[in-house]
């Protein structure tokens, strides 16, 4: 019903920046929240940030506060993740996700998932 496609990942030096994009298609009227989660090798997938598509309210996990910014363009059915001051600890596969619930902060709350885009930060 909903398809999500991430893009924008790559290799960047510590302290550098990247912007990820996630385009949603299909039955997007069902989506009320979109977010980003990440998974490093050997670790569980963890919540990074989410945004309410209606209000624009956002939530960030502590390790990325002040460095990452989530935004949305509802007309384009697209959400972005601007990542600044990147650290080696940010290296992970980043997944776009969409939910029918408000400002979901846990993995189990998301209903739709993208394929992931790799972010590698060199130190």
* Predicted pLDDT of residue 10: 98
The DSSP annotation for 58-109 comes to: EEE-GGGTTTEEEEEEGGGTEEEEEE-S--GGG-EEEEEEEESSSS--SGGG
Q: pLDDT tens digits for 8-27? A: 999 999 999 999 999 999 99
Asked whether residue 49 carries a pLDDT value surpassing 80, the answer given is: yes
- Give the angle subtended at the CA of 67 by the CAs of 61 and 69, to the nearest 5°: 75
* Predicted pLDDT of residue 97: 97
pLDDT class of 65 with cuts at 50, 70, 90: very high
* Predicted pLDDT of residue 112: 96
* Predicted pLDDT of residue 32: 94
* Predicted pLDDT of residue 38: 98
Percent of the chain with pLDDT over 70: 100
Distance between CA atoms of 83 and 70, rounded to whole angstroms? 9
Mean pLDDT in residue range 55-74: 96
């Amino acid at each position: 019903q909903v398809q999500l496609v991430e893009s924008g990942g790559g290799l960047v030096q510590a302290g550098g920046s990247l912007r990820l994009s996630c385009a949603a298609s299909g039955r997007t009227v069902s989506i009320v929240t979109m977010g980003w989660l990440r998974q490093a090798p050997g670790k569980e997938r963890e919540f990074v940030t989410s945004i309410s598509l209606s209000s624009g309210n956002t939530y960030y996990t502590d390790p990325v506060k002040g460095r990452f910014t989530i935004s949305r363009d509802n007309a384009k059915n697209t959400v972005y993740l601007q990542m600044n001051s990147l650290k080696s600890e940010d290296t992970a596969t980043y997944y776009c996700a969409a939910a029918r619930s408000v400002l979901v902060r846990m993995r189990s709350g998301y209903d739709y998932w993208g394929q992931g885009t790799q972010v590698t930060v060199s130190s």
